[in-house]
Amino acid sequence: MTLTRTTCPYCGVGCGVLAGADGTIKGDPEHPANFGRLCSKGSALGETIDLEGRLLAPQVGGKDSDWDTALSLMAEKFGAAIRDHGPDSVAFYVSGQLLTEDYYIANKLIKGFMGTANIDTNSRLCMASSVAGHKRAFGTDTVPGTYRDLEEADLIVLVGSNLAWCHPVLHQRIAAAKEARPDMRVVNVDPRKTATSDLADTHLRIVPDGDIALFNGLLAHLAETGALNRAYIDSHVNGFDAALAQAQQTNPLDSGLTEAELDEFYRLWSGTQKVVTVYSQGVNQSGCGTDKVNAILNCHLATGRIGTPGCGPFSVTGQPNAMGGREVGGMANMLANHLDIENPDHRAAVQGFWQSPVMAPQPGLKAVDMFRACADGRIKALWVISTNPAVSLPDADGVAQAIANVPFVAVSDIMARTDTGDLAHVLLPATGWGEKDGTVTNSERRISRQRAFLPAPGQARPDWKIMCDLAGKMGWSEGFDFETPAQVFAEYVALSAATTDFARDLDLSLFADADYAALIPTQWPANDKRFFADGKFYHADGKAKMLPITAPAPRAAGDFTLNTGRNRDQWHTMTRSGKSPRLGAHLAEPYAEIHPDDAAALTVTEGDLIALQTPTKTAVLRALITDRTAKGQLFAPMHWTRQQSSAGWINALAAPVVDPVSGQPASKMNRVTATKFNAA
């Protein structure tokens, strides 16, 4: 069996995979993300590539159709909406599952030809707060960390990150490094005790959103104990005094930790030079997510713990190509090549390169706002690509109603039935993992190829091709006459070269003459350059910026705080991972973790059902009684959809509260009541 060298389609670790058409799956020993390792999800990929449930032909009005009919109707509806209601009456909602080439074409089409930036992505739910925090501190969205830094650190602080389940191969790498270097210390900061806490030397059980009190307290401690790097601050950082003054106003006990826990952590952090602080959704998915990011970055900047091996802040991305999407301007407030849509020079440069008729003049609607605009009638034509917002966004039932309210909805997917696809007027069959070619970028900025090892089934087409075909139907053949993803990638690299005057960190010159077919996993920037090693940042004066961060008021006691997240063995709405019996055996049904004292107060015993309620919604879930979840808190997985579980789609209960800076939903901070469910 010939094995094809490709990349895992699940998490942002971006592991290399050797895959065969017979379902053979092996870890790629030569891929620098995993060196042959795979987690449970990656190992089971061979069980997910069958055609059961696949969408194999375009559908119009629920009936099988053909590409010409479906795309002609789409062109007519999108064209009419733009003509009659203006460019901002159309929108695309896309996915971190898309390959970089797909993302590039989607953004070119809507921003440069339709004339609106109403394109956002489910990556808004994943790392938007980190993007915003990086831009505030560094002047651009630069992730300075690498996986090797984790192995070289003397202290790893994992904040709001269940790496063991959500980035398992990275967790394996840390475990191996810790075994080889017994002096390495790992601290896990999380309101919930997780599989990641089990590896850590210390689990710091903060209260939800207690992160800012913890890191503001650390900054104040560093100042009090003379552990700041004054020379670094003077040369490379603005805003220190205001940031410190605000930190000194914070009571670190508001983190929920004891004085002894705080003292031990602060002394460990300040006494260790090589510190990496890893953070993900527990930080990002919060109403103060961007502030949490900057509270962490402040501590690294105030001590110069950035830009050197084994040192620095490191936001790990949830999705396989969240990073690639960022690179090509995959969100409503970005342009390709890390340029800013709000900057007229950047807009002009990109429009000039694209030779496009228009350019979106301002940022578009972010995810939650986009579906509000669907609900109130502003959006007349919507294209959802490779994602399932009718169950994955907060207020999922409201989002489903909002989509149903849009006069014309197209959905591209690999599956014939999804909660969102069921609301579409036109369904477009896309090729899936194993059938399409392109590139993805992982959490450490390493660009890898995904390669096809299976034929495209039925009439399925790659996403970039579907978008180009629609552009052709709308009269924009020129600019979208690509025949291969290699040509799309080459244009993206050329755009990078054409905008180097503006692009402040995204250096793709190493790909200029790359052989796309043979592309090996390659990290940018070139030549092992380490970001910020020279103390230069991307604000106009070359300095980084520390921000004064206000800790949120402690939450009032009362209802439960519902935290949602991933299981070890499932991926998002289980479109693919749900096909694997092996993965399904891990945790087979929706559940809610509840503390034993809370369960006792509700007279709930193991196996009972509990009803979680907001004023308008209820979810009924199996109780999983465990002290891994703190008193007053609940945890429920996000994977089950309306189609899979009659009462378990948890995002129906999530309020559409977002971080005011990043627009990222606060998915870990929902207010619910809980009662024992009486089936009778």
**Residue 116 vs 441, nearer CB to ligand SF4:** 441
Question: Beta strand 381-385 with 408-413: parallel, antiparallel or unpaired?
Answer: parallel
Least distance to ligand SF4, CB of residue 233, Å: 37
98 binds ligand SF4 (CB under 6 A): no
**Residue 167 vs 465, nearer CB to ligand SF4:** 167
Say if CB 503 and CB 350 are below 8 A apart.
no
Return d(Cα 412, Cα 364) in angstroms, integer. Answer: 21
Least distance to ligand SF4, CB of residue 170, Å: 7
- Nearest-CA neighbor of 265 among 194, 187, 161, 213? 187
Site string for ligand SF4, 34-73 (x = CB under 6 A): x---xx-xx-------------------------------
Say if CB 314 and CB 322 are below 8 A apart.
no
* Three-class SS state of 595: coil
434 binds ligand SF4 (CB under 6 A): no
Least distance to ligand SF4, CB of residue 528, Å: 23
- Nearest-CA neighbor of 373 among 132, 75, 76, 92? 92
Total number of residues binding ligand SF4 (CB under 6 A)? Answer: 14
Least distance to ligand SF4, CB of residue 336, Å: 25
Return d(Cα 380, Cα 364) in angstroms, integer. Answer: 15
Return d(Cα 618, Cα 610) in angstroms, integer. Answer: 10
15 binds ligand SF4 (CB under 6 A): yes
**Residue 199 vs 243, nearer CB to ligand SF4:** 199
**Residue 382 vs 440, nearer CB to ligand SF4:** 440
**Residue 6 vs 664, nearer CB to ligand SF4:** 6
**Residue 395 vs 569, nearer CB to ligand SF4:** 569
**Residue 169 vs 409, nearer CB to ligand SF4:** 169
Containing 349, the helix (H) or strand (E) segment is helix 344-354
Say if CB 605 and CB 599 are below 8 A apart.
yes
Of 168, 329, 462, 578, the one binding ligand SF4 (CB under 6 A) is 168
14 binds ligand SF4 (CB under 6 A): yes
Least distance to ligand SF4, CB of residue 40, Å: 7
Burial 563-585 (b: 16+ CB within 10 A, else e): bbbbbbbbbbbbbbbbbbeebbe
Question: Beta strand 426-429 with 59-60: parallel, antiparallel or unpaired?
Answer: antiparallel
Q: Where are the strands (E) in 436-578, listed by range?
A: 438-441, 446-450, 522-523, 544-545, 560-565
Least distance to ligand SF4, CB of residue 22, Å: 19
11 binds ligand SF4 (CB under 6 A): yes
Stretch that binds ligand SF4, among 31-39, 116-124, 196-204, 401-409 (CB under 6 A): 31-39
**Residue 39 vs 612, nearer CB to ligand SF4:** 39
323 binds ligand SF4 (CB under 6 A): no
**Residue 49 vs 658, nearer CB to ligand SF4:** 49
Least distance to ligand SF4, CB of residue 166, Å: 8
Which amino acid, 620?
V
Of 169, 186, 301, 341, the one binding ligand SF4 (CB under 6 A) is 169
Least distance to ligand SF4, CB of residue 442, Å: 8
Phi, psi (degrees; rounded to nearest 5) at 513: -115, 25
461 binds ligand SF4 (CB under 6 A): no
**Residue 32 vs 364, nearer CB to ligand SF4:** 32
Give the up-direction half-sphere exposure of residue 671: CA atoms within 13 A in the CB hemisphere. Answer: 9
Q: For residue 515, what are the contacts with CB-CB under 8 A and spacing of at least 6? A: none
Least distance to ligand SF4, CB of residue 5, Å: 14
- Nearest-CA neighbor of 419 among 652, 620, 249? 652
Q: Where are the strands (E) in 35-113, listed by range?
A: 59-60, 63-64, 90-94
Least distance to ligand SF4, CB of residue 13, Å: 4
Stretch that binds ligand SF4, among 10-18, 52-60, 398-406, 645-653 (CB under 6 A): 10-18
Structure tokens at 294: 């900057």
Least distance to ligand SF4, CB of residue 120, Å: 24
Structure tokens at 575: 């479109």
Containing 374, the helix (H) or strand (E) segment is helix 367-375
Say if CB 11 and CB 319 are below 8 A apart.
yes
Least distance to ligand SF4, CB of residue 452, Å: 18
**Residue 215 vs 314, nearer CB to ligand SF4:** 314
Length of the chain: 680
Containing 321, the helix (H) or strand (E) segment is none
Stretch that binds ligand SF4, among 118-126, 165-173, 482-490, 627-635 (CB under 6 A): 165-173
Q: Which residues bind ligand SF4 (CB under 6 A)?
A: 8, 10-11, 13-15, 34, 38-39, 41-42, 167-169
